[in-house]
Amino acid sequence: MRSLRLIPLLVVACTAVGPASAQQPGDKVVTITDRELRTIRLMMDARESIPRGTIFVVQKVEGDRLWVSRFEKAPGAEGWLDRSHVISFPAALDFFNNEVKRNPTAQAYAIRGKLWHEKHELEKALTDWNEAIRCDPNDPLAYVERGAAWFDEKEYEKAIADCNEAILLDPSCGMAYALRGSVWWAKEEYDRAIPDYVEALRFDPEHAFDSIHRGRVWNDKAHYDEARFNYDKATHMKPRTGIFVIIRTPLPFSKEDSNARIVQDTNAIRINAKNVKAYISRAESFIELLQYDEAIADYEAAIRLDAANFDAWNGVAWITATCIKSRSRDGKKAVQYAIQACELTGWKDWRSLDTLAVAHAEVGDFTSAVKWETQALQTLASVTKVHMRPFYEREFRSRLELFKAHKPYHEEAKK
């Protein structure tokens, strides 16, 4: 089971102003002043206080103004920042190194720890978070911050210990319960995860993100009705936040659901043999049932009917590159189909670039795999309003590390 980064990193105030540098769409920047930005919410416009040390991605540039979006947590925030309000991510570490030297507070160490973590320098990040805790041992969020790093590294026992300490300091710390619940979920100890999600909701009911992961727990236990209830519950919480775009991620279907969809799509194809959508829908159901040969056949039928259909080309490429059943994998075919998907999307679609990367890895061309996975990450960062962006970024980075280690990516068996 693959993990998401589930808890937003601690961001706090420092003092000093650094130089702004020219930024382009897709670049990461770090705030050096406290600001307010528009919070993404459903049917309403709100403002969110943004502390110094917050990481954003530049979406567009107009003169000295940058339109930025944050995807570290939900609801996210977006809006205009002056260049003087931010520093480029590559320069941020030096900037906050100086902050630590001038004023070595818990907050300064916490910001620098987050920057190290973003650079995948775990040991240095942990050193700074340890210093933050030493400076202020009564701050529960510092333990949650460090626990989130342990979670990302799959050091689950250490993450639980930090959550326990945070809850001891503040028994109403909803973030600590949410993180600990997610650790139990990752460990597949679902009966321990659910009570922690309940407590997270009790102490922090406005953050529906916790309900999402509570829903994921039920989903992994194959309790689909309970999963849909919890997803729906999160959707209707007040305030109704933009988190609904994540909640509405399609849940895996039960075997009965998939079989029912196959019957429905088969009838649709019988009525209209050129129904491309029905072939693609049926292919997705076959995948849920691990019937990969049937799924490939349906995708290829869709291609014969509509050679410009990106989903069909990408679907075949993904299965033949990553299938859990080795007999269904065909790296050369995956590369061929992934290239076609990229050409159809003008080499600007992050999904097809990711597929091309895993296809190259399957044939052992890890240099190309690293190249295209890096391109997929860069393209993803440049596109606004991507559904479940943090999840995809985490997945892409994980695959990139695999490719750098000369290892292919294969799907895991469904629970």
In a domain, 13, yes or no: no
44 belongs to a structural domain:
yes
Asked whether residue 238 falls in the same domain as residue 291, the answer is no
Asked which of 204, 222, 247 is the last residue of a domain, the reply is 247
Widest CA span in the chain: 74
Asked whether residue 234 is domain-assigned, the answer is yes
Ordered per-residue pLDDT tens for the chain, 415 residues? 333 333 333 333 333 344 445 677 878 888 887 766 655 443 344 566 777 788 888 888 888 888 887 654 444 567 888 888 888 888 888 898 898 899 898 888 988 988 888 888 888 989 998 999 999 998 888 898 899 888 878 889 999 999 999 999 998 888 888 888 888 877 877 667 767 777 776 776 554 354 455 455 555 555 555 555 554 554 444 433 333 333 334 444 556 667 888 888 899 899 989 999 889 989 988 988 889 999 999 999 999 999 999 999 999 999 999 998 888 899 999 999 999 999 999 999 999 999 999 999 999 999 999 999 999 999 988 876 665 566 678 889 989 999 999 999 998 644 3
Q: Do 260 and 192 share a domain, yes or no?
A: no
For residue 3, is it within any domain?
A: no
Say if CB 109 and CB 97 are below 8 A apart. Answer: no
CATH number at residue 61: 2.30.30
Of 69, 92, 115, the residue that ends a domain is 92
pLDDT for position 148: 84
- Kindly state whether residues 34 and 120 are assigned to the same domain: no
Which of these three, 221, 247, 273, is where a domain ends?
A: 247
Supply the range of the domain harboring residue 327: 255-404
Amino acid 211: pLDDT: 47
The three-state secondary structure class of 146 is helix
Residue 380 domain-assigned? Answer: yes
In contact, 153 and 118? CB cutoff 8 Å: no
- Is residue 216 domain-shared with residue 311, that is, in the same domain? no
Judge whether 394 and 4 are in contact, CB under 8 Å: yes
CATH of the domain at 300: 1.25.40.10
Distance of CA 357 to the CA centre of its chain: 18
Tell me: cis bond preceding 75? Omega within 30 of 0 counts: yes
What are the beta bridge partners of residue 87? 30
- Does one domain contain both 217 and 282? no
242 shares a domain with 262? no
Please tell me the predicted confidence (pLDDT) of residue 216: 53
Q: Please give the pLDDT value at position 13.
A: 33
The answer to the question of residue 124 being in a domain is yes
Residue 301: count other Cβ atoms within 10 Å of its Cβ: 20
Q: Are residues 138 and 85 in the same domain?
A: no
Does some domain include residue 370? yes
Same domain, 386 and 264: yes
Is the domain of 334 the same as that of 367? yes
Task: With respect to residue 20, please indicate whether it lies within any of the assigned structural domains.
Answer: no
pLDDT of residue 361: 96
Same domain membership, residue 179 and residue 265: no
Which is nearest to 388 in space by CA: 107, 154, 74?
A: 74
Same-domain check for residues 207 and 347: no
Say if residue 115 is in the same domain as residue 196: yes
- Domains in the chain: how many in total? 3
